[in-house]
């Protein structure tokens, strides 16, 4: 009887382990629609900013986040470059804790990314670029993003996520494309899509 109970316990533990692993792996893997080259003349335009602004931070852990406004500055000549080589960096977009009433339940449905340092082809190849990222909203994993190794705009779309005051959008860098000179990944611009 004890042997049978032990076998059932081991089987249940194995099932739980498989189930929890399955949940983590069940995230959608989104591939981008690769679009136009990233040019200064084409920067800006409609985005989630039509509803509200946010604070952009980056760092290797929640306790080391610092402002990273160059990620959302509508400027193709500036880039955020990770202070550390490889993966593991976190990028956060913090929605203000106070929003006007008409900005509540604002749809968030996409991200446009200008991957790498794109001021010149030499810099693009010199610095690492992001290969995969995980998108989370309020610490809940939403999808894995698989970026192409290109300096063109990359558009990712997903089902509407309703944002409200105090919400948190987070991208964590999981894997990089190696650079010829530096393994510090760079990103020129991230545009959060939504609002309309």
Kindly report, residue by residue over 148-158, the tens digit of the pLDDT.
999 999 999 99
Predicted TM-score (pTM) of the model is 0.84
Residue predicted with more confidence, 4 or 26: 26
User: Domain coordinates of the chain in residue numbers?
Assistant: 28-194
Cα of 67 vs its chain's centroid, Å: 16
Angstrom CA distances, 103 to 38, 47, 90, 166, 196, stand at: 29, 14, 26, 12, 11
CA gyration radius, the chain: 19
Residue 6: the pLDDT is: 43
Nearest-angstrom CA–CA distance, 59 and 73:
18
Residue 90: Cβ within 10 Å count: 19
Q: How confident is the model at residue 96 (pLDDT cuts 50, 70, 90)?
A: confident
Q: How confident is the model at residue 17 (pLDDT cuts 50, 70, 90)?
A: very low
DSSP string, 13-78: HHHHHHHHHHHHHTSEEE--EEEEE--GGG---SSGGGT---EEEEESSGGG-EE-GGGGSS-TT-
Per-residue pLDDT tens digits for 166-189: 999 999 999 999 999 999 999 999
Average pLDDT, the chain: 86
Q: What is the mean pLDDT of residues 84-108?
A: 89
Share of the chain above pLDDT 70, in %: 87
Half-sphere exposure of residue 12: CA atoms within 13 angstroms, side-chain side = 6
Element (H, E) at 126: helix 121-126
The dotted CATH code for 28-194 is: 2.60.120.260
Residue 5: the pLDDT is: 45
Q: How confident is the model at residue 101 (pLDDT cuts 50, 70, 90)?
A: confident
Per-residue pLDDT tens digits for 33-56: 999 999 888 788 778 877 788 999
Residues 6+ apart with CB under 8 A from 31: 146, 148
Only one residue has tokens 């080391």, namely 64
């Amino acid at each position: 009887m004890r042997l049978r109970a032990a076998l059932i316990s081991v089987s249940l533990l194995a099932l739980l382990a498989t189930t929890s692993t399955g949940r983590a792996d069940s995230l959608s893997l989104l591939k981008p629609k690769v679009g136009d080259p990233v040019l200064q003349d084409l920067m800006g335009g409609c985005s989630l900013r039509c509803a509200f602004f946010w604070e952009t931070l980056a760092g290797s852990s929640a306790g080391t986040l610092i402002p990273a406004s160059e990620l959302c500055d509508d400027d193709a000549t500036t880039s955020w470059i990770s202070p550390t080589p490889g993966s593991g960096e976190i990028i956060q977009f913090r929605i203000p804790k106070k929003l006007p009433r008409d900005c509540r339940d604002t749809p968030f449905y996409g991200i446009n990314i200008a991957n790498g340092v794109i001021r010149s082809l030499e810099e693009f190849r010199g610095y690492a670029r992001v290969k995969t990222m995980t998108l989370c909203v309020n610490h809940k994993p939403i999808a894995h993003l698989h970026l192409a190794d290109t300096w063109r705009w990359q558009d990712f779309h997903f089902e509407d996520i309703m944002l409200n005051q105090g919400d948190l959008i987070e991208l964590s860098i999981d894997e990089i494309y190696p650079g010829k000179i530096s393994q510090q990944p760079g990103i020129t611009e991230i545009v959060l899509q939504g609002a309309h």
